[in-house]
């Protein structure tokens, strides 16, 4: 998956015609290309930029020696995704760094909430909603491995674990605003889960925006929010 400047902006087979052309050398495009290549198809990846990576690119954009992630920096699904987990990226030098805290969410009063692997330790920073946060997250985290493959792949019918999927799905379909108003009374837990759900880049009253907040929270508690040593470019 390493880029090769000598081939310009085309990676993969040089045979013409090939079975598939993937436009865009970001993580999703590369995942598609690898899947096709593993199935015995000839593939070309076309990328407009001189390096592959898409949102997972790193460059020296300020001072020499200071590497900055251009877009994404934290990759819980880089570890949690069944597809990326099965790739031998470690053999190509990828090292994941797992900080103790996935995130800290500051408030105007100078305090902050932290989210780490332990649901209970995280809940202690949620004030009056500590119990509610624990009751919400513990079952979801406990069932994550049961629904992981169904959720991040083609959804089978019926799901492999129908009750676990229903427990997640009924909450995930809610607007994030409805989820936080239903479960929480104070500003601290509401702020954390709203911040998670904001990764949807949609208004939080839209249906299913709760899914973003739930998945990112579950990942923080189950595997953490790792970063790639040397920057996101190391992933590709």
Question: What pLDDT, on the 0 to 100 scale, is given for residue 154?
Answer: 78
Question: What pLDDT, on the 0 to 100 scale, is given for residue 2?
Answer: 44
Question: What pLDDT, on the 0 to 100 scale, is given for residue 81?
Answer: 85
Spatial separation of the C-alpha atoms in residues 161 and 149, rounded to whole Å: 11
Where in the sequence is the domain holding 179, given as residue range(s)?
A: 101-222
How many separate domains does the chain show?
2
Question: What pLDDT, on the 0 to 100 scale, is given for residue 82?
Answer: 84
In CATH, what number is assigned to the domain containing residue 86? 3.50.50.60
Residue in 73, 96, 72 with CA at minimum distance from that of residue 84: 96
Same domain, 69 and 162: no
Question: What pLDDT, on the 0 to 100 scale, is given for residue 1?
Answer: 43
Per-residue pLDDT in tens (0 to 9) along the chain, 236 residues: 444 444 446 666 565 688 889 998 899 999 999 999 999 998 989 888 888 888 899 999 999 989 999 989 999 988 888 888 888 988 989 999 999 999 999 999 999 999 999 999 999 999 999 999 999 999 999 999 899 888 887 778 888 889 999 999 999 999 999 999 999 999 999 999 999 999 999 999 999 999 999 999 999 999 999 999 999 999 88
Query: 67 in helix, strand or coil?
Result: coil
Same domain, 76 and 116: no
Same domain, 27 and 129: no
Residue showing tokens 């001189």: 50
Same domain, 65 and 167: no
Question: What pLDDT, on the 0 to 100 scale, is given for residue 11?
Answer: 60
Residue in 184, 180, 207, 215 with CA at minimum distance from that of residue 194: 180
Query: 44 in helix, strand or coil?
Result: strand
State residue 46 phi and psi, 5-degree precision: -110, 125
Per-residue pLDDT reduced to its tens digit, 62-101: 999 899 999 899 999 888 888 888 889 889 899 999 999 9
Question: What pLDDT, on the 0 to 100 scale, is given for residue 172?
Answer: 96
């Amino acid at each position: 998956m390493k880029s090769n400047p000598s081939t310009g902006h085309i990676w993969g087979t040089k045979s013409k015609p090939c079975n598939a052309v993937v436009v865009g050398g970001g993580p999703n495009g590369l995942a598609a290309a690898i899947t096709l290549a593993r199935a015995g198809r000839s593939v070309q990846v076309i990328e407009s930029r001189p390096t592959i990576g898409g949102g997972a690119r790193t460059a020296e954009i300020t001072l020499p020696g200071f590497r900055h992630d251009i877009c994404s920096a934290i990759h819980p699904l880089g570890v949690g995704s069944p597809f990326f987990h099965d790739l031998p990226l470690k053999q190509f030098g990828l090292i994941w760094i797992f900080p103790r805290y996935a995130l800290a969410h500051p408030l105007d009063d100078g305090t902050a909430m932290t989210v780490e692997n332990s649901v209970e330790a995280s809940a202690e920073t949620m004030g009056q909603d500590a119990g509610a946060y624990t009751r919400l997250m513990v079952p979801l985290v406990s069932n994550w491995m049961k629904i992981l493959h169904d959720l991040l792949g083609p959804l089978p019918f019926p799901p492999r674990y129908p009750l676990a999927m229903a427990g997640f799905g009924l909450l995930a379909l809610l607007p994030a605003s409805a989820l936080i108003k239903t479960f929480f009374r104070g500003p601290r837990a509401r702020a954390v889960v709203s911040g998670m759900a904001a990764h949807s880049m949609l208004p939080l009253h839209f249906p299913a925006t709760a899914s973003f907040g739930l998945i990112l929270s579950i990942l923080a508690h189950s595997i953490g929010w790792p970063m790639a040593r040397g920057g996101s470019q190391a992933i590709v």
